Structure 1
């Protein structure tokens, strides 16, 4: 029975891929596969972080001069990798009732402020303000890609980091000033031993900004049943990711479930079936999640 279900899911995914490639004049989607650098089913190690950092080094971030010339407001987000109960994954948050993107699933992050030394600093500050992750816990691995302009006119920069458990850090590490330059945090333990797990209960979500924070396992990105094709601002196709079962039951009925047309904001072709409501990682967050998967050679 399980083999038959997997076969049906794989067949359905093949149909979706053919439909997407003929419906949009964009880069065709491919089925996700396990990373060639480490197994996403295993907990992250220092060796895995080093491999991720090397991959990110291949993609040059926007220069300081180019950032200064950009007239649009800047924002930064953090793809926060971590081990939780020995499982590798990425931290996601359910946004509170805000003026924009209320109730959506996103990475920690937000608009850069005058107090931020630079855009990495902005991402670290926002992560601390939103979910209580201290900057000293975050080992910045690199810049994900060139920034993307959101539907609200923000130039959004994305950084990747590993979140260490606060209690596992030495007193010196807790006091250190976080690096403000991508790729400059060295991986300190040259080992294949799994890095310590972060406790979700140790996080302190700010209720005015975040309703829930959870870890989404990297291995679940390989599940065809969680994937649905979407298109970002008619520019690039990507997989939206179903995270419904990770959302607190009391929140599921309160989150927005709005159908979108091909001309709507960050999302195109998002068809919502009221009979089967799903909560997905989509829009710019979904796009960046797919870019990260490509960096790991999963797509």
Structure 2
């Protein structure tokens, strides 16, 4: 992670913070719940559940802003989650792994419209390939974004064109990996006298390897990992 440009944001390398624990004692989501039809059914008939992560410790003096992100689940032989690596020139969360998404515009009809618009602007994901399933509870970041996560299935066959001003890379991670708490690591550190806690889900991406190169570690952490943990709780409830 490269330092963000705003002096009000924490500047540290999350990889350098020790792992306090790994949640391998928790069961992963059963494979039969990680299919397109099972997800459709889960959102049509949601269970009683409580999100585990909702509000991060604030480290920004900015006015809160509404935003939405898309959790695009690509319908391959097994579901994968499409993620982005944010450009290092962005003012907030630069260089981090993120969902496609961003701030709500006045012209957006709702959070779904925001998520779909932003996904098209950032990576050119076509709307006609996307089947929206529903939303998860809002997640408030320390940088004062009130985010609505929008979960959707994505039909393969699309061609992505990342906007270089916003997105440095696009990749996919198997959903079963992310929905297995054995890959969920807990961290904490102090910033400006306040204790911050978060999860990380490092993923060694085999598709990143080319001849003579090493496999890239996709370091998923912070708000992205927090929303994925909530998705895990929703699917395992």
What is the TM-score normalised by the length of structure 2?
0.70
User: How far did 1:127 drift?
Assistant: 0.6
| Larger relative helix fraction | 1
Corresponding residue for residue 161 of structure 2: 204
Distance change (3 Å), C-alpha of 1:278 and 1:134 = closer
1:47 positional shift:
4.0
| Larger Rg belongs to | 1
Give the aligned partner of residue 213 of structure 1. 170
Alignment of 1:115-264 (within 5 A): 115-145=107-137, 147-164=138-155, 198-199=156-157, 202-221=159-178, 222=180, 224=182, 226-230=183-187, 238=199, 240-245=200-205, 248=208
- Helix, strand or coil for the counterpart of 1:155? strand
Supply the RMSD in Å over aligned alpha carbons.
Answer: 3.3
- Structure 2 runs not aligned, ≥5 long: 1-18, 52-62, 211-215
Give distance in 2, aligned partners of 1:246 and 1:107: 20
Q: Distance in 2 between matches of 1:37 and 1:113?
A: 37
Q: Which residue of 1 aligns with 2:213?
A: none
Kept in 2: contact 1:52–1:141 (CA 8 A): yes
Greater length-normalized contact order (CA 8 Å, ≥ 6 residues apart): 2
| 1:142-186 deviations in Å (ceiling 9; x for gaps) | 1111x222122121111111112xxxxxxxxxxxxxxxxxxxxxx
Say if 2:37 is the partner of 1:46: yes
Pair 45,156 (structure 1): closer, same or farther in 2 beyond 3 Å: closer
Whole-angstrom distance in 1 between the partners of 2:40 and 2:132: 10
CA gap 1:295/1:99 in 2 versus in 1, 3 angstroms: same
Q: Deviation per CA, 1:240-276, whole angstroms, max 9, x where unpaired?
A: 11124357469xxxxxxxxxxxxxxxxxxxxxxxxxx
- In the comparison of the two structures, how many residue pairs are matched? 198
Mapped to 1, the partners of 2:185 and 2:136 lie a distance apart of 23
2:93 corresponds to 1:101: yes
TM-score (norm 1): 0.57
